[in-house]
Amino acid sequence: MARAGGRHVHGALDTAGKRAAFALFYAPLHFIAVSAVIRARGAHTAPPKTIIDLGCGTGAAGAAWARASQPSSSVIGIDRHPWAVEEARWTYQQLGVNGRARQGDVSKAVTPRRGDSFVAAYVLNELPDEARMRIEARLLDSAAQGGRVLVIEPIARAIAPWWDDMVTRFTPVGGRSDEWRLPVDLPPLLEKFDRAAGLNHRELKFRSLFV
């Protein structure tokens, strides 16, 4: 467990229960969120050759971007958790995405290359401030080289108090920040999980930074 900005940050996949919830419940919502942003903000941009999915989890975010790209992009998922790496590989296979996943520390794995793009979906808030700032600097380098960058986080300011400052730093390289409230019609199984968790996802709320 690390400490970020004065608050404790727990690993998103550090228990079997969290892993099950992530795979069955949160991963589909992440897929929906990324797909919506790419359709709205990335439709008129050239599809990236390679998408690096930082803290890929089940691989849903990178797969969503690749599936929304025509022609389809390839994906490299990076996650420190071996379970996530296997889940991401399964996701790519099931969705017909040209992707591979590997275990690694995302705060050290970002080496911008021309033609690469990056997605960090619901992962930066899980990192200590030092690691997050290190990733942000490298994402800025990538954007300055013409790469696409997509960051998605919850709207709740307490989860990502650094959001506005990050947006300010990305604005000179064309960064655009949006808040989203998407009506969603959940599949029956996902709706059942939603109710069991005491939630009501008639609307999917999140914020995005897209360059």
What band does 28 get if pLDDT is binned at 50, 70 and 90? confident
Q: Which two tokens stand for residue 87?
A: 């889940």
CB atoms within 10 A of CB 13: 22
Mean pLDDT computed over 172-192? 83
Judge whether 49 and 146 are in contact, CB under 8 Å: no
Sign of the CA dihedral with 44 first, then 45, 47, and 52 last: negative
Please tell me which residue, 9 or 85, carries the higher pLDDT value. 85
pLDDT digits (tens, 9 = 90+) for 110-146: 676 777 899 999 999 989 999 999 999 999 999 988 8
Q: Pairing state of beta strands 203-210 and 50-54?
A: unpaired
Mean pLDDT computed over 102-110? 84
Report which of 129, 157, 151 is spatially closest to residue 139, judged by C-alpha positions: 151
Q: What size, in residues, is the chain?
A: 211
Report cis status (omega within 30 of 0) of the bond before 71.
yes
pLDDT digits (tens, 9 = 90+) for 59-88: 999 999 999 987 778 999 999 989 999 999
Residue 71 CA to residue 172 CA, distance in Å, equals 29
